Amino acid sequence: MRARRLDGPQAINFGCDAEKAKMTVQRVKRIMQPGMKGIVAGLLALGLASCASGPAPDTYDIAAPKVGASARGNSRAQVLIPEPTAIKALDSDKIVVKPTPYTVENLGKSQWSDRLPRMVQLRLLQAFENTGRIGAVGVPGQGLAIDYQLVMEIRRFEIAAGGANSAVVEISVKALNDRNGTVVKTRIFKDEVPVSAASNADYVTALNRAFERVSSDIVSWTLGLI
């Protein structure tokens, strides 16, 4: 699988990576002749400075799912939601676009407000809290007397652009009994929402809708299970 960045609303914007630029400067200094190091490094630093002066990308958030009225079941259990795992392409603040199943790009001039796994974790926490139908829910470090954990993997959170554009969200969930370490049940939740237009905001709106449906299903399934 190859990852690339292209300019345009349906693909990637090359952008500027400060860390990679700094590493390049350091490598050049090591391999260049003494008289050339300062010149080449200065040109690279100038390019990095021009990156910093460019327009900032638009920043988007994932809305807290509205699942209170639709959630089924009640539980007095205390549930821990660890941060979901994800492959590197999804474990960042980049908004993923896939023109083909084997090509990874990023939505140009756009970014999430945080790393995607962290956002999914906290929005699901809010979804459970908003139902008012669970004993307690929290994240690691909050000192809960844990009954269950939801071990999740974000498999897809992307714009599928190979033809008719659509937002696809797919999350695998294991309900783990924390008292005896056994997996109660495993399920894969997936939803797909067509993208009605071609702006970045339209893509993000479709991703939000797909995530809201998946979150609602996860909450209802968990409440009925524990």
The CATH number of whichever domain residue 151 belongs to comes to 3.40.50.10610
| Mean pLDDT in residue range 153-175 | 96
Whether 92 and 136 map to the same domain: the answer is yes
Whether 43 and 65 map to the same domain: the answer is no
46 vs 202, which has greater pLDDT?
202
pLDDT at 153 over 90: yes
Can you tell me whether residue 87 is helix, strand or coil? coil
Evaluate whether residue 6 is within a structural domain.
no
Partners of 156 in the β-ladder: 170
Whether 25 and 135 map to the same domain: the answer is no
Look up residue 101 and give its two tokens: 């199943």
pLDDT in tens, 48-80: 454 555 789 999 999 988 875 555 667 889 999
Whether 213 and 162 map to the same domain: the answer is yes
Domain coverage including residue 168: 58-225
What integer best gives the mean pLDDT of the chain?
83
Evaluate whether residue 8 is within a structural domain.
no
Q: Spell 2-26 as b/e; 16+ CB within 10 A means b.
A: eeeeeeebbbbbeeeeeeebeebbe
Q: Is 182 exposed, middle or buried (0-12, 13-18, 19+ CB in 10 A)?
A: exposed
pLDDT in tens, 77-95: 999 999 999 999 999 999 9
- How far does Cα 125 stand from its chain's mean position? 15
What single letter denotes the amino acid at residue 140?
P
| Mean pLDDT in residue range 88-109 | 96
pLDDT at 195 over 50: yes
E runs forming strands in the chain: 2-3, 58-60, 75-80, 85-86, 96-100, 103-106, 110-112, 134-138, 148-160, 166-177, 183-194
pLDDT in tens, 120-140: 999 999 999 988 889 999 999
Whether 116 and 71 map to the same domain: the answer is yes
Sign of the CA dihedral running 126, 185, 224, 66:
positive
Domain count for the chain: 2
